[in-house]
Structures are given as C-alpha cells and as structure tokens.
Chains A and B, each alone.
Chain A
C-alpha cells in the first residue's frame, strides 16, 4: 500500500518535473493562432472589420473579441476557412461590415490630381507613388483595393475599377448545373 503510494507519488513528481522543464524549454513565442488567422485573412488592410488592419483583426478573433464574419474581402471562402481553423460554425457575412464584391484596384485620374499626398499617407501598403505637388499614381500590382485612399482625396480624383481578366487569370467556369442529384434552384418565382 505504502509502496504503491510512493511509486505513484514518485511518478507524478517525475512527470511534473519533466512537464515543468518542457514548458520552459519549449516555450512557444507569440501566439500561433494569430499567425494562422492572419494567414487566412486577405491582407487588404481595408479596416472594414472595424480594426485598423488584418493583423489587429486576427488578434481580436484570437482573443474572442471579434466574430469571424466581419471580413467582406475574404468573403464566404474566408469565413469557411476561419470556421475550419477555429472549429466554429460558419455564419453568413455580417451585413454591417459590408458585402463581398469583385476585386478592384484604385486608379488616380492624373489630369485632376493636385499632388497633395493625402492618399499616399492613407494607403496601408504604400502602393501609391508621388511627391508633394507632383502627380500621384497607383502601383496596380500592389493595390489591395481597400478604398482607404478615396475618402481623403480633396478633389475626388480616385476611383475604383474592377480588376480585368486576361487569359492568364481566366478560370474555367464551374460545370453547368445539371441533374447530378440536386434539384435546380427554383428561380421562376419572383
């Protein structure tokens, strides 16, 4: 009886020491969940979620302060991925944060640009090139379409255009819905 208690006690003590050592020796720096969430977010840095960027939103989700359906650019696919990662139920995009739309990029009407640099300061990814009293232009390949440069422009010379499709980015459509077991959605009733 005493032997058994001693043996179990020794084992518990030994494992406790090992665990305690491992907790210090193999300590995980940072919060990997935040990184994983951040990897899913589209990095538009548009702040539509109510946080100043994608990483702050990721931190808020990890801390349980924000819901997973506040990112319109990520869309349904993004919510699905977040739900899978966090083991939650996917839910529809929250309407108050905006709706999913086609990807766009900002274009500056260079005829009207006065070179005030306000848009340059607003751009979260430094995708606008220019200098005071010099014409500005958007580096199209680096623009995330966040629309944050629209508001500060004093002469309203920035507008969003949809990203065009060319033969390198073209995608085959999903095969036409046919009788593969599911009934066709009834659209006749309006």
Chain B
C-alpha cells in the first residue's frame, strides 16, 4: 500500500442518505436472455436524432449500424442483437414526458449473432493516433453511462489549445439504491482499467484518478487487485467519503483535486475530464475488441420487485422483461422510477425500453414512497442553502422560478443547478424545489427557441421586403426602358426604312427612265414608302 494518503477536499453541502445498496448486491450480474423484441429509440441523448440506415424486413446482425446521426453531438445506433427489422415507428420513450420518439423495432432470432468486428479492433491501441481512437469511440455509439448519456467522443476531443492534465474515473455512485457501477467494478476491474488507459492515451493526460465512495470496499479491493496496488502506472485509486452527491461530476472533481469547475463551464476548462467507470469498460470493448455499445448493466431494485439484482441488459429490452427476469413485481409495487430516488423520474409504463442512459430501475413499494406531504409556505430557514452542493441559493431560485422571473433566476445561476434534490429533501415546508427549477430551465430553453425562430422570421421578412422592393424597381426600370425604346427605336428604324425605300425607288426610276418612258406606277416599294 502507498504510505501517503491522497489529499481530499470537501464540497459544500450534501447529505448523508441511507444507502439501500445491499438490496441488489447479493447476486452477481445476471446476463439476461435475449428478449423477443428490442426497441431502439433513435434519440437516446441530447444532440441530433439518428436517421435509419435499414428498411423494414431487413436482417441485421448484432452490432450492425442501423441508424446514424449527422451532427457533431450525435452517435450512431447499433442493433443490440441479431434479427429482423419489423417496424420503424414512434414508440414510447423512457422520458419524463411520456412522449414517443421514432424507434427501430427488431424481432430477435435468439442466436445473438455478432457482425464481424475484427476489422475495427485495435488491440494495440498505444500506437494509434488519438483522433483514430476518438472516431472509433464515436462509431461504437458510446455515450456517458452515468445517466446523462452525453456522446463520449465529444468529451475525448479537447478544444484547440486545451491540455487535459487529469482523467477522473467516476465510481462514486452516490445515489441510494443504484449498484450497477459497484457490481461492474467488482466483476470487470481489468476492463475498466484498460478503458481508463485508452482514455488517458486519447487525451494524452498526465495522471488518472479513480474515485470510489468508501461504502463500496469490495469494488475498491477488486480494482486495487487488478491494478496491483492502490497507485501504479500513473493511476491512483481513491476512496472518497460517502456524501450525496459525491458522484456529481463537479463535486467529485472538487473532492479529488480541490479545484472547482467555473460556473457554466466544463471540467475541460480546468484540464480535467471525468468519465463513468461503465463508459471506460465500453471504451475498452469498442477499441480493443471492436465491439460497439449494445448492452449495459442495469440495477433492478426496490422492495416492489421480488428478486432485486443487477442485469446485463441488451439495449432496447422492454423494462417489463427486466422486471420479469427479477421475479416480477411483489405484492405492493407503488411506483416505477428510472434512475435513483433522488434524481430519477417516474415511468408511466413498463413498456418502454432500457436505453444507454438507464442505470437503474427502482420499483418502490408503499414503505419506500409516501404521498408528497402538502407544500407549506417557505419559512426562509435557509436549510436548502446549507445543503446545496453547487453553492447556489435555492430559496432565491425558488422565488424567481415561482414568479416566472426567469432572467432573475439565471442571474442566480439556475443553470449551475445539477437537480440533485438535496434542497427539496431538507425543505421543512416540503416545497417541490427541483420541480420549480426544472420548470424554469425548460421554459428558458423554450424562450430561447422562440427568440431564434423570431430572428429567423424577421430576417426572412426583411429579405422578402428587400426582394419585393428590388423587383418593383427592376420592373419599373424595364418598363421605362421599353417605353423609351418604343418611342425612339421604331421611329428612327421606320424613318430609315422609308428613306432606304425611297432611295431604292429613285435609283430604279433613274435606271429605268432612259430605257422606257412610261414606268410601272404600282411599284410595291414605292407603295410602302408612301404608306
């Protein structure tokens, strides 16, 4: 063991919560059987939606690209198992809105047959350019597995002039009930470490830190064993105190390095990149084995399910089948939550599929959820301010969000709120504070969209006016030209013609006169001349 302990810092606020983690860590990760259908939404993360690359009736292999995005912040969608595409249509998405998104439905054949991945495999990644590794990570459809599902390739691409000093692997997993990262660290420590080395190589970073909350000693031991020591090969494994939300990106950076990410900034602004441990394992499989991201570990837990445990789930598997694989619902399932009890959202139905961002399915029974107690007026006690891990003033944000004064809310750094729920948890008046902040954030986004649309309309309106004016002017000019042309050109033309005809007639007369006395009177040209 290393003799000098890693110096730790403390972030502001936070909570000590009951962990409820041992409910789902009793069994090893169970590899789920192939479901009859998988439903793969074409919009699984922020950024642009993917466009289907297959048609109905087409056979696909596991790992084949079935949809592709075009923007920078986009990520392809792969078939998670082999089978036949049976539908490309709107299906319910795992999203708080309960709305549908375009999805590709595959009827599985049960063989789970992999497409050929050997071509994309790079077992010797150390000699490969970082840009090549980045594009491999993008092609493999890897997104952050911590829950936000941000495309990982974007995070591996520092802006020009930015030097990444430290890579932090986030194994804190601070939210109660969730254990998928814990189980992954226990069972696949070597893959995680290899993935970390790939990230380090891609970013050319100097040091690596792995942060694990001290309530997961097994995961810590497993990673130390795989690394050989607590610190080796430029990688340091650190146990951090269990305080919710230590697994928040900015909070973990503060705890491990003492540095703070600037307001509205990114960790890369201070030379740090933070990745989830599950993402690292996916990067390992994508780069070394050439396999895209087609499955993930999902915690199915809570007293509302009979046999809580972690499952290795093919993406697109309906939640209903996850529950069935864990013994089905118990007597008294009250609420189905995707994510944890603090930051998760309620699902309206178990028909939605598990997606890349699905870390946990919590089936709460009546002991675990209680009807929200009636909200009382704010008594201005300030407990929320003490609990806020982002150093904000939740009470001010509440007043401004409630009165829909969104400019003021932004002045109080609304967008630095990570929606961890600490303020609402401690509020003695039971105010649904986070709901107010979420409401305000989406309203501000809408105003921004409206403003952009208005700007576009104004621009097009002004261009149209300009064009009409120009057309009007050109028309007038054309008209004037024609008028003057009609006035002058035909006149002079005609005069010339007449003159020419007269001239010809005179010449003919002059030529004829000596021959014969009585010339022909009805000379056509002469007629035209007089007409």
Same assembly: yes
Measuring CB to CB, which residues of chain A are less than 8 angstroms from any residue of chain B? 38, 41-45, 53-55, 124-127, 142, 144, 165-176, 178-181
Choose one: A41, A45, A171; the contact of B443 (CB below 8 Å). Answer: A171
Which residues of chain B have C-beta atoms less than 8 A from A41's C-beta?
454
Which residues of chain B have C-beta atoms less than 8 A from A166's C-beta?
99, 101
Closest to A123 in B: B464
Give Cα distance in the complex from A17 to B374, angstroms: 67
Interface 1/0s, chain B 427-466, versus A by CB < 8 A? 0000110011011011101100110011111101111100
B95 at the interface (CB under 8 A from A): yes
Give Cα distance in the complex from A178 to B378, angstroms: 12
Closest to A45 in B: B461
Chain A nearest CB: distance from B354 CB in Å?
17
- Per CB-CB distance, the 8 closest pairs between chain A and chain B, nearest first, are A171-B442, A43-B457, A43-B454, A170-B97, A178-B375, A125-B460, A172-B438, A175-B435
A-B contact pairs, 25 of them (CB 8 A): A42-B450, A43-B457, A44-B457, A54-B461, A55-B458, A124-B464, A125-B464, A142-B456, A144-B453, A144-B457, A167-B99, A167-B101, A170-B95, A170-B97, A170-B442, A171-B443, A171-B445, A172-B96, A172-B441, A173-B439, A176-B432, A178-B375, A180-B376, A180-B377, A180-B378
Chain B nearest CB: distance from A150 CB in Å?
18
Give Cα distance in the complex from A124 to B466, angstroms: 12
B93 at the interface (CB under 8 A from A): yes
Whether B439 lies near A167 (C-beta < 8 A) is no
Give Cα distance in the complex from A180 to B439, angstroms: 17
Whether A175 lies near B464 (C-beta < 8 A) is no
Whether B436 lies near A167 (C-beta < 8 A) is no
Give Cα distance in the complex from A13 to B131, angstroms: 70
B197 at the interface (CB under 8 A from A): no
CB-contacts of B443-494 with A (<8 A): 443, 445-446, 449-450, 453-458, 460-464
Given contacts A171-B439, A180-B431, contact A142 B460 (CB under 8 A): yes
Whether B376 lies near A45 (C-beta < 8 A) is no
Measuring CB to CB, which residues of chain B are less than 8 angstroms from any residue of chain A? 43, 93, 95-97, 99, 101, 374-378, 402, 431-432, 435-436, 438-439, 441-443, 445-446, 449-450, 453-458, 460-464
Whether B460 lies near A178 (C-beta < 8 A) is no
Give Cα distance in the complex from A165 to B93, angstroms: 14
Which residues of chain B have C-beta atoms less than 8 A from A44's C-beta?
457
Where chain B touches its partner, the secondary structure class is helix
Whether B374 lies near A126 (C-beta < 8 A) is no
Give Cα distance in the complex from A38 to B132, angstroms: 49
Closest to B454 in A: A43
Whether A126 lies near B93 (C-beta < 8 A) is no
Which residues of chain B have C-beta atoms less than 8 A from A45's C-beta?
457, 461
Known: A144-B457, A172-B438, A174-B439; 19 extra A-B contacts, CB below 8 A, are A43-B453, A124-B464, A126-B460, A127-B460, A142-B456, A144-B453, A165-B97, A165-B99, A166-B101, A167-B43, A167-B95, A167-B97, A168-B43, A169-B446, A170-B95, A170-B99, A178-B375, A180-B378, A180-B402
Give Cα distance in the complex from A13 to B442, angstroms: 57
Give Cα distance in the complex from A164 to B95, angstroms: 17
Give Cα distance in the complex from A142 to B438, angstroms: 28
Give Cα distance in the complex from A181 to B439, angstroms: 20
Whether B376 lies near A179 (C-beta < 8 A) is yes
Whether A42 lies near B454 (C-beta < 8 A) is yes
Give Cα distance in the complex from A85 to B136, angstroms: 52
Given contacts A166-B99, A180-B375, contact A43 B461 (CB under 8 A): yes
Given contacts A166-B101, A171-B439, A178-B375, contact A126 B454 (CB under 8 A): no
Whether A172 lies near B435 (C-beta < 8 A) is yes
Whether B374 lies near A179 (C-beta < 8 A) is yes
Whether B457 lies near A175 (C-beta < 8 A) is no
Give Cα distance in the complex from A181 to B461, angstroms: 46
Closest to B456 in A: A142
Give Cα distance in the complex from A125 to B372, angstroms: 49
Whether B375 lies near A125 (C-beta < 8 A) is no
Give Cα distance in the complex from A169 to B453, angstroms: 13
Chain A nearest CB: distance from B419 CB in Å?
10
Closest to B375 in A: A178
Chain B nearest CB: distance from A18 CB in Å?
36
Whether B457 lies near A169 (C-beta < 8 A) is no
Closest to B430 in A: A178
Which residues of chain B have C-beta atoms less than 8 A from A54's C-beta?
458, 461
Chain A nearest CB: distance from B343 CB in Å?
14
Give Cα distance in the complex from A175 to B464, angstroms: 43
Which residues of chain A have C-beta atoms less than 8 A from B377's C-beta?
179-181
Give Cα distance in the complex from A142 to B442, angstroms: 22
Which residues of chain A have C-beta atoms less than 8 A from B432's C-beta?
175-176
Which residues of chain B have C-beta atoms less than 8 A from A175's C-beta?
432, 435-436, 439
Which residues of chain A have C-beta atoms less than 8 A from B463's C-beta?
126
Whether B464 lies near A179 (C-beta < 8 A) is no
Whether B446 lies near A171 (C-beta < 8 A) is yes
Which residues of chain B have C-beta atoms less than 8 A from A181's C-beta?
377
Chain B nearest CB: distance from A83 CB in Å?
14
Chain A nearest CB: distance from B431 CB in Å?
7
Which residue, of A41, A124, A180, has the highest number of chain B Cβ atoms within 10 A? A180
Which residues of chain A have C-beta atoms less than 8 A from B454's C-beta?
41-43
Give Cα distance in the complex from A127 to B463, angstroms: 12
Whether B374 lies near A178 (C-beta < 8 A) is yes
Give Cα distance in the complex from A142 to B455, angstroms: 11
Give Cα distance in the complex from A127 to B436, angstroms: 37
Chain A nearest CB: distance from B42 CB in Å?
11
Give Cα distance in the complex from A176 to B431, angstroms: 11
Which residues of chain A have C-beta atoms less than 8 A from B449's C-beta?
169
Chain B nearest CB: distance from A12 CB in Å?
42
